[in-house]
Each structure stands twice: as structure tokens, then as C-alpha cells.
Amino acid sequence: MTTTSAHLDPSAVQVLPGEEAQASLEVRNGGELVEAYRFEVLGPAGAWTAVEPESLSLYPGTAGRVVLRFRPPRESTTPAGPVPFGVRVVPQERPEQATVPEGVVEVLPFAGLTAELTPRMSQGRGRGRHQVAVDNRGNLPVSVTLAGSDRGGLLRFALPAAATTVEPGRAVFVRADVRPARRLWRGTAVPHAFQIVVTPGEGEPIALDGTYLQRPVLPKGLLKAAIAVVALAGALAAAWFGLLRPAVRSTAKNAVAGPVTAAQSQAADAKQKAADAQGAAAAAQQAAQQAASGAGTASPRPAVTPGTGLVPAPGAALFSQRLKATAPAGATRTETYQVPDGKTLRLTDLVLENPQGDAGTITIAVGDAPLLAPALENFREQDFHWGSPILVGEKQKLTVTVTCRQVGLPASGPAPATCSAAALLSGSLE
């Protein structure tokens, strides 16, 4: 005969991940002996349910209560929906008389949607290529749509017409290209600010700001170079028609009509005139070259001292270095690259990587001067490109510092124990 009975109150509860819900379990000792009971929570809920107190002693004919505390973690791996569970009540004196009351805990859904535009700035004469990274950190699938706009309607957007579904704990990358409505033929580059809005099926939309730098189709200085070429051609034509052609014609006539000696004399005169004409043409050509040099296209670029100017010095070596730093939660780690003696690092490109989705900061610094310090939770991959390079002198240190606030959870593979972020540095070493 079973002497132990147990009853849940209530038998069904609701709980939001990251919060707590409670239920009471009443145990009655119907036997004739003092009995001690222990408790085991069965089913998936056992991983995040605690029983307080862990054991209970009852005299014959008496009852007692314990509290079940349901604390599901606020993670995408905690699915929403009903989770059946049972509580095995085991008497220590008569374990064969264990009883298992059953109940249901309803795990409520929660949202955790983030989005990032990469790169934030593009440039070109036609298409600007971008991607929107949508990361679902909630526990339900989310469908999102993308829409683009700019002030004045000067851009056209290439966005998917259908909604994109993102599963819990996953991230998707959606193409979001822009194109100018009208071509810019000449002049200076024009920046266009725009916005991509990510709208989930339920919840608040996320606005992402970006910039497209539209460059002219005809490079600056092309018109001046064309004028210089036309001027050179005109000078050469004038020298031919004004000096060479009349001299050659006159020499031919005299050679036919006069004696041989007269023809030789005329030929010598014509040769002298031709030399004069060539000298004039050479002077005209030199003047045209000076005009083209003033336009900034004909003359060669002056030598550049290493470490200065907008372009690398001749003979500069391509540079690429990846610095990766790992740190446990609550800690900071730094990786360093030191520029060799007698060298200057011309930094033009920087790519930041956060493959695990960690939370914290990553700081890029030259010596004690920080360049960038973005939050890790704002990106998975982000790149920067500078038209005017950042110069790092000899023996200076380029550092990557990771401050880990919370270790992320990658889409696949085992859960990591440390934050892991990296920076890919590119440019030239001269």
C-alpha cells in the first residue's frame, strides 16, 4: 500500500525566460514511521528548476510543503511553448513507494533582434554594395522586411521583395545595394546619406544609417589634359603648314628648273629651314608639356619621402597583419604589433571580426591614442577604408584590446568559454 501522496499547486505555470515562476508541492506521510523525502525534477525543465528545501522530514499523518522555482535562461536555445515536467518524491525508508506528480510550465516567447549595415559607407560611379546582418537572439523565428529611403529620392535601392525568416540563435546576411538615380559626369564627389529600415513581423523597426559617395564618371583634370593635347597638335600642324611644306615645295621647283648646283643650294636652304621648323616644333611641344604639367596629368609625380603623402613611396611592401585577442568574461586582453626600425606603416584598411557575437568593446590604438572603440554587440564583421592613410612611425605599437563583458553563443559548435575578436590590418610598409 502506498503511504506517500503529493500534489502540485498550481499544476500549470507560465514563466518568461530570464525571470522566475513558482509552484508549491504538498507531500503527505500516510505511513506509521517518520519519513524523509528527497525530490527529483524530471524532463527538460529539470535543468533550470530548483526545489527548496532539497529534502523534507515528516511525522506519520502529517504533511509539508516544498517550493519549485522555475528559472529558464534568457537564451535562444530555450524554446517557447509548453514544457511537461514531473517531480519524483522518493521516501528514504521505502523508496519503492515513490510518487510522481506531473505538471506543465509554459515558457513565454521573447524577442532579441539586432541588425547592422556593413559597410556603413560605400563609394563608386554606379552601384554601392552593402549587406544587412540580422541576428535573432530571441526564442522564436522572426520574419523581417527591408525598406530603403534617402532625402530627395536621389538613390535607388536593390532590396529583396519577400520577407526573410531568421531562426532563433541564427544570423542572416541580406544584400542591400544602392545606386544613384542620375550619373555624375564631372565635378567633385557627392555624398548621399540614406537609411535602411529592418521591420520585424512583431516589434519595433530598426533603422540603419549609411552613406554612399558618388564619384564623377570623368576624372578630375581630364579636360585640362585634353586641352593640352589639342594645343600640342595645333603647334605641330602650324609648324608643318607654315615652314616645312612651303620650303619643300620651293626646293622641288628650283631643282627641276635650275642647274644641279642651284638645286643643291636650294636644298641646303630648305634643310636649314626644316631644322628651324623642328626647333620651333620642339619648343611648342615643350610648352604643351608644361601646360599639361600645370593640369596635373602630363608630368611624373614627384618623389615622395617615405611616411608622407597620400600614396606609398616607390618600392613600398604590401602589409597585412591579423591581431586576435581572447579574454574571459570580465577581463581585458591586448595583442600588439610594433613597426620595425626604419619603417613606416601606412594603414589604409581595417576589418573587425566578432564571429561569436560577444558583448564588450574592441579598441584599436596607436601608442596611447585610440583610433576606434566600437561595441562588440553592434557587429559580427565591420570594415573601414581610409582615403588618407593613417601613418604609424617606426617602433610605434599598434594594439588591439578586447574587453569581454559577456561571452557570445555562436550559431553552431560548442559554447565558448572566452570572448574572441580580431582585427585585420592592411596597407603598406615602407
Tell which residue, 60, 113, 104, has the closest CA to residue 86: 104
Alpha-carbon dihedral angle through residues 166, 170, 173, 174, given to the nearest 10 degrees: 0
Contact 340, 350 (CB under 8 A): no
Q: Which residues pair with 6 in a beta bridge?
A: 27
CA-based R_g, the chain, Å: 40
Model confidence at 229, pLDDT cuts 50, 70, 90, reads: low
Backbone angles phi, psi at 203, to 5 degrees: 115, 180
> What does the pLDDT read at residue 215?
92
> Does position 62 have pLDDT exceeding 70, yes or no?
yes
Query: In this structure, are strands 21-29 and 4-9 parallel, antiparallel, or unpaired?
Result: antiparallel
> Among 2.40.10.220, 3.40.50.10800, 1.10.3720.10, 2.60.120.380, what is the CATH number of 317-429?
2.60.120.380
* C-beta neighbour count of 241 within 10 angstroms: 10
In this predicted model, which residue has the larger pLDDT, 64 or 282?
64
Model confidence at 249, pLDDT cuts 50, 70, 90, reads: low
CATH class belonging to 113-214:
mainly beta
Model confidence at 305, pLDDT cuts 50, 70, 90, reads: very low
The domain locations on the chain are 4-107, 113-214, 222-295, 317-429
> Does position 290 have pLDDT exceeding 60, yes or no?
no
> What does the pLDDT read at residue 291?
45
Please write the tens of the pLDDT for every residue from 259-272: 546 546 665 665 66
Are domains 4-107 and 113-214 of this chain identical in fold? Answer: yes
Q: Biggest alpha carbon distance in the chain?
A: 157
CATH class belonging to 4-107:
mainly beta
Least trusted range by pLDDT, from 129-133, 142-146, 314-318: 314-318
Q: Tell me the C-alpha distance between 319 and 310, whole Å.
A: 16
Least trusted range by pLDDT, from 190-194, 249-253, 305-309, 364-368: 305-309
Q: Which residues pair with 327 in a beta bridge?
A: 419
Q: Tell me the C-alpha distance between 180 and 64, whole Å.
A: 75
> Does position 342 have pLDDT exceeding 90, yes or no?
no
Model confidence at 42, pLDDT cuts 50, 70, 90, reads: very high
In this predicted model, which residue has the larger pLDDT, 256 or 82?
82
> What does the pLDDT read at residue 289?
57
